[in-house]
Structure 1
């Protein structure tokens, strides 16, 4: 099967219209990003069943500038494997008007795994300040940020709070309950939790300037809704609704029920921005493949 190849693809999407990144069941009207990608790849008419393995799960309404997945593709009639650039163009053509685009493709070793080989994942959460109602945002920002009424966030306190989260912790208090709960180790290493000024995508053209904050989080992996819960807690610290001591107590409780109700940041401001791999893991060797 010399024409069977495994590919790693990086892809972006606006998550507003989708049920999340993973495939939705057939009876569900709103589909996942994976449904559209697999349908597009099937239109290339491979001999093998099409099945993507997604590196990083994102929920309904969450966006990605760079998610990733791997899949196998066997072409008919002894055709050679697709060149990487041709594969990107072909998949994007068949995606049509979906708000999903493949940005890069790499042929990878046959044992490569998009999820388990990932070395780190980075998210950015975008917050618009001083916007009482989302109708006052530029239209392009409508589903791409969290608008907060006040501009008076204590960013210094938020940064102190973020520093408490960096490092190795049991993040049980910052995960939501789902079916994976018994199987996921809640101990994670948070490498980065930073808070910096951001900007609107229309900053140079909108009739007034809207201040933005960008919260960046990097870790090898995250728990279910961990980033949105951390963001919500940091904003509450900035608003004076939580103290640094309160945040430390929540973290040390190691219990999802210890997280206060009503603090979780909405999905629409969250972007997965990077999934990083070792160069040696994604380097394809024809000789190794034949062996």
Structure 2
């Protein structure tokens, strides 16, 4: 399985801060926002990653991550010149995906929880069909809403629905088999002029090939594409790291635990960031 991290869009909800800077480079406490979504790919055991971003920001991501060799992985980059919808990522990334299955991760999504990795790896084993998460949210009308029947069977997925009785939403991590490329090419733009990921999910649902993994209460998810949620995530990370002494989304640590890199690469990263808390943490692991 390969992973695509979608870090495009104009970030207009966060103007004027995002006029010159990609929101995905904003800090969530002590690390760039994109570190937290990137860590999802690593925690799933994926070592081939494509980052899609706007033309004006792509070099910043390339400077941040390089070719991925420092993490023992392979990273490629593609440009999304205009925000034409999440599902366009599969069309842009067609050559990168090749014949593999793919995990799509939105670059402004934050996850944390003891059981999250278990649920993540469960969907990452997908060979056929599609897999998504469902998460209980206070304001479901801002996201794709999942409706279940009394037996837990998925009835529908509606984009930004205001008339749904469900408070389960679809957070920004999705798993698909290789057919998703053709599905993305076949769907039509919505009224917003975008290729909606909800439409892709409904194609799989109608074929009976969509698995929905309900995340338990111990998992925390935030869409950090607003000032309020960005601050909430920062405060949360600071609190957890202070209380536990463990760093959230330390990419080198995850790669080391996955055996993508060894002690020498961790030491090199510690030297690169010498004089920082990040460096001290790398030395401690």
Same fold, TM exceeding 0.5? no
The structure having more radius of gyration, on CA atoms, is 1
Greater fraction of residues in strand: 1
Structure whose residues are more often helix by fraction: 2
TM-score when normalising by structure 1? 0.23
What TM-score do you get using the length of structure 2 for normalisation? 0.23
